[in-house]
Structure 1
């Protein structure tokens, strides 16, 4: 029997893209816990957000926040992999003034505006604003300007990662690169098992690297019903339902069915 490890995105994967519904997830997580299957929340969300979701979902495993920029194991202080948000916002404000690029980000918005752009309630919006290493933005200009903007980021060692709702400005890290760091951490239980079968679930471009490193990649339908196209020699499965039903369907299909 395989030793399964699950690495999952949240928005549009574990949580419904529009309503954030996670009906049916809790009983399934209880079954996974009973079988000692680790479930790693691996998201563009902040650590403050993932801490709340870890509590809601009754999970004790490590979490990876801000597209691989922050990792926390247990109650230990978080490890910051990315570049500090203050530095990123300084770059962005300078470039916007100098080049006239049209974009807005979390650093520009009030909590009410974050609520409007995300659909989050006030407490969750406040947690979403506690960013440490990534700046989500909305690009308001033309496509050619976006290309030039991305080139300027690269010159500063930064990248532009497309998520479900926003582009994320961040350093050269990913959900996959930090998951690899976690699995190679000799001080954590996860590194003692050398034969994990990785089931990764995601729906967006920022999930690509994580999905392509998985033994089984579950691609969730995006908000428009389309699917991310992967380049992987491992097994790829397109979930037939949107979140959270598609998450339940896929985990039952690959992990729990095998355990029966």
Structure 2
């Protein structure tokens, strides 16, 4: 395979997609330019493959893999989503081996029906159904205290299950992150220079694994934690929000990748 000129990894909500309307229309010029130069664009999200696949089709990106469930899995190029892969079965099996008093503190998406997930996430019912179609990770509500959560996480770790707490959900997986998947996918295209775009602290690992990390302005997102000076210097920041900021930053980097100035 011919080496790509560059590769783009992008978060979705609040980044490529507008925070309120979920539209990507403002990013159309940059998306077209990426197609013209033959640069792969990789969607990378906490969403499931079932949620990402229709958007990938809509954006004409089916020829490229996508990172799903926060890096817990990959939706291969041209592939249709599958449900209940071995990773997910392993996670659910491990959950059932945790002592009952702790297990009752965790209510995963697999313990809910679609209406429960819709109430919990605020998603429309149709989207909640897609969010339940999991293959690689299990988010859930935690009802216990911090000490109990520590014991719960330790019990799962013994069985090879990693837990990450994101504020709303405790998410269980086999441990892979978006950053891990970037290496795997970039290798398919000859390891070209990487642009990564995101809007929130949970994108930071992915951003810092890129040659050109771009933080898209999002007033609704939590601020980033304090960064070491070297990382803070590398991080490019947009002044425009959502797909408008995404469009401006990508076009700027394509035209002049040596331009390390913030504020585009």
Offset at residue 79 of structure 1 (A)? 10
After superposition, the C-alpha distances for 1:111-168 in whole angstroms (9 at most, x for unaligned) are 1222233333333222221101100112233333333333333222221234585332
Q: Tell me: CA distance 1:131–1:201, structure 2 relative to 1, closer, same or farther (3 Å).
A: same
Offset at residue 225 of structure 1 (A)? 5.0
Partner of 2:203: 207
Are 1:217 and 2:231 matched, yes or no?
no
Are 1:122 and 2:125 matched, yes or no?
yes
Q: TM-score, length-normalised on structure 1?
A: 0.81
Partner of 2:32: 30
**Contact 1:208-1:230 at 8 Å conserved across structures:** no
Are 1:177 and 2:175 matched, yes or no?
no
Between 49-58 and 118-127, the greater mean CA deviation after superposition: 118-127
Q: Tell me: CA distance 1:57–1:77, structure 2 relative to 1, closer, same or farther (3 Å).
A: closer
After superposition, the C-alpha distances for 1:40-90 in whole angstroms (9 at most, x for unaligned) are 01122111111111012221322121222322332257899x962122123
Partner of 2:46: 44
Total equivalences in the alignment: 250
> Structure 1 residue runs of 4+, over 6 Å off?
77-80
Q: Take 1:139 and 1:239, find their aligned partners in 2: how far apart are those partners?
A: 35
**Contact 1:200-1:217 at 8 Å conserved across structures:** yes
**Contact 1:157-1:171 at 8 Å conserved across structures:** yes
Query: 5 Å matches for 1:1-260?
Result: 3-59=5-61, 60-76=63-79, 84-95=87-98, 97-99=100-102, 102-163=105-166, 166-185=169-188, 190-191=189-190, 194=191, 196-220=192-216, 221=218, 223-230=220-227, 233=231, 235-256=234-255
**Contact 1:26-1:57 at 8 Å conserved across structures:** no
Q: TM-score, length-normalised on structure 2?
A: 0.79
- Partner of 1:183, secondary structure, is helix
Q: Tell me: CA distance 1:141–1:247, structure 2 relative to 1, closer, same or farther (3 Å).
A: farther
- Partner of 1:244, secondary structure, is helix
Q: Take 2:81 and 2:114, find their aligned partners in 1: how far apart are those partners?
A: 24
**Contact 1:218-1:239 at 8 Å conserved across structures:** yes
- Partner of 1:12, secondary structure, is coil
Offset at residue 205 of structure 1 (A)? 4.5
